[in-house]
Structure 1
Amino acid sequence: MAVYVYSITSNDHPTKLDGLHGVGDPPGTLRTVTAGVLCAVVSDAPEDLRPRRRDVLAHQEVQERLMADGAVLPLRFGMTADSDETVRAALEDRADEYQERLRSLEGATEYNLKCSWEEEALLRRILLESDEARELNTVLRSGSGTPQMSLALGELVAQEADARQQALAKGIVEALRPYVFDESLSLPGGHDFLSVSFLVRADKEEMFLATGISLANQLGEECEVRLRGPLPPYSFV
């Protein structure tokens, strides 16, 4: 039967799984697969595995319980293997890599930061700071502009917006970088101009959070800053 894999830990991790259940309906029973110095937390995989809320929550609860007692390599939702023997073979084949990563994650958690800039506020800033954009906008608003001028203004605003967002994203990351052990940028979605995950050690967490709050206050209402965490370090496994 296929096996659902939640996490990898060292074999001396307490792996306190009492009261937890795995994915599926009925919920799978959690167990461990050990190979040398490593251990994987698994359960039988349901045949119709999908990211249902109950299963995503079950997956997350396993990670959080394990993280409370030591370093964990949390696998993302949906990871399966053919059998316990397949899992054991993977632990043996990549033992050095997994051990090194576990050491790097000791005492660290992930924080995810997303930022967006309110479109109207950004446009007002561009028109205030860019003479060319302001002049084109004035002509168009007077009714004497041409379609080519409208197109030029649209392209100019897009370029100016991109430049400002990239500069701000760089500044935010640089301000937080002294307090993080690692970082992982991802492609922003929707209206976001920044999506980045930080790996933060416990001794830097207070300063990291304080700096994040300070940045949000400095940016004001024009920018929305969304910081989630602490999270299992999915982005660094």
Structure 2
Amino acid sequence: MALYVYAITGASHPLRLDGLTGVGDGRTPLRPVREGELRAVVSEAPEEIGLTRPDLEAHRTVQERLWDDGTTLPLGFGFVAQDEDAVRAVLAESAEQFAARLDELAGRAEFSVKGIQEEETALREVVDEVEEVRRLNEVTRDGGGTYDDRLELGRLLLGEVQARQVGLAEAVLAALRPHARAERLSEPSQEYFLSASFLVDRERAEDFVRAAEEAAGDLSDGVEIRVRGPLPPYSFV
């Protein structure tokens, strides 16, 4: 029987699974698979697993309940094992590694930080502050200027916005790093100029959030810093 695997815990975890149901039809009970000093929390896997809201919510709810009660190694959505023997084999093979990671994550949580800048505000700042951009913007207004003028304007705008967003990201990271144990950075995207996860001691969680709020307050208009957490440490397993 295929099993959907949610997380790995130590033997001392209370495994308070009452009232929880797994990914699938909403009626699948959860249970532990034991191997030595480790436990894997599983449920029967549905025939098909899709990125549906109910399944994602069920996965998240299980992860957060487990994490609230003790240290876990949360697995990402969609992790399936062939059967209990396969789960036990993985727990046995990597027992030392899993135990060490559980010790490292004890008393710590993940915070997700996203940096967003309004596109219109970012472009307006560049036009207002960079003379050559301002000149080309005037030249090409209402369809004027040459093709090369429009190409150069686009190139300058993009380069200036990206350079400024790198500076914004570095300022936020510099403010948050003293309050975190570790970090994981993702490449900037069109939506986020900063996308990062931080591993933070629970006792320093308030300091971390306060530092994020202060960093956001120091940034220009149109810039927003979104912080989610504390969360199970998905990015650090």
TM-score w.r.t. the length of structure 1 is: 0.94
Q: 2:75, 2:128 → 1: CA distance? A: 47
CA distance in 2, matches of 1:142, 1:59: 52
Aligned match of 1:63: 63
Matches within 5 A, 1:50-199: 50-141=50-141, 145-199=145-199
Percent identity for Structure 1 against Structure 2: 48
Counterpart of 1:197 in 2: which secondary structure?
strand
- 1:221-236 correspondence runs (5 A): 221-236=221-236
Q: Secondary structure of the equivalent of 1:68?
A: helix
CA distance in 2, matches of 1:35, 1:46: 24
C-alpha separation in 2, matches of 1:164 and 1:135: 20
> CA offsets per residue over residues 82-140 of structure 1, 9 Å max, x none?
01110111011111111111111111111111112111111121122222212222333
Q: Does 1:42 align with 2:42?
A: yes
Q: What's the secondary structure of 2:218's corresponding residue?
A: helix
Q: What letter corresponds to residue 10 of structure 1 in structure 2? A: G
In the alignment, residue 33 of structure 2 is paired with which amino acid? V
Aligned partners of 2:36, 2:215: CA distance in 1, in Å?
Answer: 45
Q: What is the aligned length?
A: 237
Q: Matches of 2:48 and 2:143 in 1, distance apart?
A: 60
User: What is the SS of the residue equivalent to 1:113?
Assistant: strand
> Alpha-carbon deviation of 1:144?
5.9
Cα 1:224/1:134, change in 2 over 3 Å: same
Distance 2:204 2:174 in 1: 15
Q: 2:140, 2:53 → 1: CA distance?
A: 50
Is the 2:205–2:230 Cα contact (8 Å) retained in structure 1? no
Conservation of the 8 A alpha-carbon contact between 2:5 and 2:40: yes
- Matched AA of 2:160: E
**How far apart in 2 are the matches of 1:141 and 1:64?**
53
* Distance (whole Å) between structure 1 residues aligned to residue 24 and residue 100 of structure 2: 32
| Change over 3 Å in CA distance of 1:54–1:140 after alignment to 2 | closer
Give me the whole-angstrom Cα distance separating, in 2, the residues matched to 1:148 and 1:54.
Answer: 51
Give the 3-state SS of the residue equivalent to 2:77 in structure 1.
Answer: coil
The Cα offsets for residues 20-77 of structure 1, whole Å up to 9 and x where unpaired, read as 1112215211111111111100111111222322222221121111112211101111
3-state secondary structure, aligned to 1:61: helix
1-structure distance, mates of 2:131, 2:25: 62
CA root-mean-square deviation: 1.7
Return closer, same or farther for 1:144/1:26 CA change in 2, 3 Å cut-off: closer
Aligned to 2:23: 23
Q: Distance in 2 between matches of 1:18 and 1:191?
A: 39
Structure 2 contact 168–219 (Cα < 8 Å) conserved: no
**TM-score of the pair, normalised by structure 2:** 0.94
Cα pair 2:209 2:227 within 8 Å, conserved: no
Cα deviation code 1:140-172 (max 9, x no counterpart): 338763221111111011111111111111211
